[in-house]
Amino acid sequence: MQASTGPTLLGFDVILIGSMLVGIAALAMIVAVYSAVTIKDPMAKRVKALNARREELKMGLVTSNAKKRQSLVRKTDTTEKIKDTLGNLKVLQDSQVEDIQQKLAWAGIRNKELAVYVLGIRAVAPIVVGGLLFILLYVLRIYPDWEMKRVFALGIGTFLAYKGPELFLKNKANKRTDAIRKGLPDALDLLVICAEAGLTVDAAFNRVAKELGRAYPELGDEFALTAIELSFLNERRKAFGNLAYRVNLESVKGVVTTMIQTEKYGTPLASALRVLSAEFRNERMMRAEEKAARLPAIMTVPLIMFILPVLFIVILGPAACSIADAFAGGAPGTK
């Protein structure tokens, strides 16, 4: 007895595919509702890291107890082994390590030892991924109809495995930079208010970090860390330099330069920050106007591909059906 099957489309069971799509939509709805009703503190993890940095600067040690020191020594030993191995393979240079450390700092990752791991993954991943793709495509021949496509698939997979870690860091750094850029004018306004109220620079940074921590967690994190370093480092110039090193934004570098000049020459901080804040607000408004001016050109492609065809079908569809019925009714019937 042959089992009955439902309607099919292009060889796929329509009822089965529809049931799967409904299940995925229900799961996505549950996740969206859970994310909307759940209250999360964006500064919770960052506060823990900032407290650790404060204790590190306060004690003048890398760690505060022997257990942490031993774990850090083991991590350093592993890092040195990986570094020696890559050095023996002639694939590790100091310039590469410094470049990856800079990208890690831009992405908000402050552990510089991870640069060696990133370089190790970038060296090993193409070999592993390329070998797996070669076995699947040429040995097992999972797609026997592919001929030249195999070469393209192997090349693209190997290239993505090599550039994957760097692309991940770049994407994360860009998102973080955009988040900091959005909140910088508001932060400078608060800094102006704090400076006019008589607060010191480190107290002003700390106050701004508390006020903007929930709205702009990345910016609040950077300002809180700068306040900690201003309180404990011997050279305040170094604390400002660390802020410019961690953020890939010319506006932040301008703020750092202003801070250093006011510390060096004793110029009024509030007036300089007020000028910078006005410039950054004008820059933000110009970026918004630029995006608005590009919108008609961006909307042209979806207008042509998705909206106009539907509009033509709605307008010309009834006329086409009427013409087809007229020709069908006027054609001589077969006897």
The pLDDT of 67-87, averaged and rounded, is 52
In angstroms, the Cα distances linking 137 to 129, 146, 161, 162, 164 are: 12, 9, 17, 19, 21
Q: What's this model's pTM, rounded to 2 decimal places? A: 0.64
pLDDT reported for residue 42? 55
In this predicted model, which residue has the larger pLDDT, 167 or 90?
Answer: 167
Residues 196, 230 contacting (CB under 8 angstroms): no
Lowest mean pLDDT of 5-14, 102-111, 208-217, 220-229, name the range: 5-14
Q: Count CB-CB contacts under 10 A for residue 188.
A: 24
Q: Predicted confidence band at 49 (pLDDT cuts at 50, 70, 90)?
A: low
Residues 86, 120 contacting (CB under 8 angstroms): yes
pLDDT > 70? residue 201: yes
The pLDDT of 253-274, averaged and rounded, is 84
Mean pLDDT of the chain: 79
Helical spans, DSSP H, in the chain: 14-37, 44-59, 66-88, 94-106, 114-134, 148-196, 201-212, 217-232, 236-246, 250-265, 269-302, 308-330
In this predicted model, which residue has the larger pLDDT, 62 or 325?
Answer: 325
Encode pLDDT of 131-174 as tens digits: 898 888 888 888 777 777 888 888 898 888 888 888 999 999 99
The pLDDT of 316-331, averaged and rounded, is 78
Of 252, 235, 216, the residue nearest 105 (C-alpha): 252
Task: Please give the DSSP secondary-structure letter assigned to residue 60.
Answer: T
